[in-house]
Amino acid sequence: MNPARRSFLKTTGALGALALAGRARPAAAESNTPTAAPPRGLPANWRTLRKLDAHNHVFGLAHRPNADWAEVERLVAAAGKLGIDKLYCSRPVTAGVMANIELVRESNDAVLAAMKRYPQRIGGYCFVQPGNGAAALDEIDRCVDAGMVGVKLYNQFKYSDPAVFPIAEKCIARRIVFLGHSAYLTDPRTLALQPKTSNALDFGALSRRYPELMLVLGHINGGGDWEWAIRALRDFPNVYLDTSGSVLEDDAIGRCVRELGHRRVLFATDSTMEGCVGKVLAADLSPEQREDIFWRNYQRLLDRRTA
């Protein structure tokens, strides 16, 4: 256990005691009084439950000389506070840009710099665009050889597009995860800005073609109709999903587990760190299911690289 985790546990214990003292009250005798049981609020050990964040980002250009590390440092500090052991990060080129390979490499260099500075806390995905052709495949090799665990694709191409197939084949060959930005957008204005965002059926099409691909539908709650996405994924048993996103709607996690099985569900935050830890804690799960979602399911994918 590292020193940061030890001091963190001390704080948690103190806060837990404070919370209990503040909330102690006699058992309910009338409808205006909260009932005493079952246990209320957060589980006492929530900070120390092991967690691997399967979808996060570093946003700055940390590899440049005299780079500002403040954002990465806040990310790492937040992970420590929330008991997230490791954050698997990428730095996609967004806003509809089809970037040249130099810009793509620079984005990945920023992630590699963060991995180097915080090797215990930050892992990496290689951002690539299928449109960069053979250079994209070379970039995957470069990044994986440097320690990254997967690729991250954004919305430059739909994943059912044949241009994506060489990337999928490279992932299979290197035994790495393919994490894809996703949404089923029902808002016409948002859809117009991201016309090539893949929805669950696009993931399904790719999975049908490559059933052995470790394919992860990114941020089930990242904006878009998540209920639609879950229903669509029922027909594609080889697609995993991650729990991240700024939408924290009740029962999203429970619905994933009931309809898809908890083994397909991977904890992630995509920068909404407190809220996304909270929704896995609040969901109706057994302790074993919660542990699987928080880290074990993702660890199983990572272990396949060396199997």
Partner 1 sequence: MIFDVNAHVGHYPFRSLRARTAAEVVALLDRHGIDRALVSSLHAVFYRDAHRGNEELWAEVQPWPKRLVPVATVNPKYAGWERDFATITGEWKARAVTLVPEHHGYTLDDESGRAALTKIEAAGVPLLLTQRLEDRRQRHAWDRAEDLTVASLFAAAKAFPTLRFILSNWAGLDGAKLADAGLRGRVLIDFARLQVVYREEVPKLIAALGVEALAFGSHLPFDYVAGSLIKLENLDFLSPADRERVAWRNAVRFLGLEEKQ
Chain positions contacting partner 1, by CB under 8 A: 11-12, 15, 18-19, 22-23, 31-35, 38, 40-42, 46, 74-75, 77-78, 81-82, 183-187, 190, 223-227, 246-253, 271-279, 281-283
CB 65, min distance to partner 1, A: 25
Instruction: Judge contact between 136 and 104, C-beta under 8 A.
Output: yes
Output the CA angle 264-267-271, nearest 5 degrees.
140
CB 242, min distance to partner 1, A: 16
Is the CB of 132 or the CB of 243 nearer to partner 1? 243
CB 281, min distance to partner 1, A: 5
CA dist 54 and 130 (Å) reads 22
Indicate the length of the chain as a whole number: 307
Amino acid letter, 260: L
**Strand 52-57 versus strand 239-242 pairing type:** unpaired
Is the CB of 25 or the CB of 162 nearer to partner 1? 25
Instruction: Judge contact between 108 and 151, C-beta under 8 A.
Output: no
CB 62, min distance to partner 1, A: 16
Is the CB of 70 or the CB of 307 nearer to partner 1? 70
CA dist 229 and 213 (Å) reads 19
Tokens of 118: 């915080």
Beta-ladder partners of 241:
217, 265
Is the CB of 171 or the CB of 268 nearer to partner 1? 268
CB 31, min distance to partner 1, A: 5
Is the CB of 103 or the CB of 247 nearer to partner 1? 247
CB 93, min distance to partner 1, A: 21
Show Cβ contacts of residue 1 under 8 Å, excluding neighbours closer than 6 positions: none
Is the CB of 158 or the CB of 175 nearer to partner 1? 158
Beta-ladder partners of 180:
153, 217
CA dist 50 and 266 (Å) reads 13
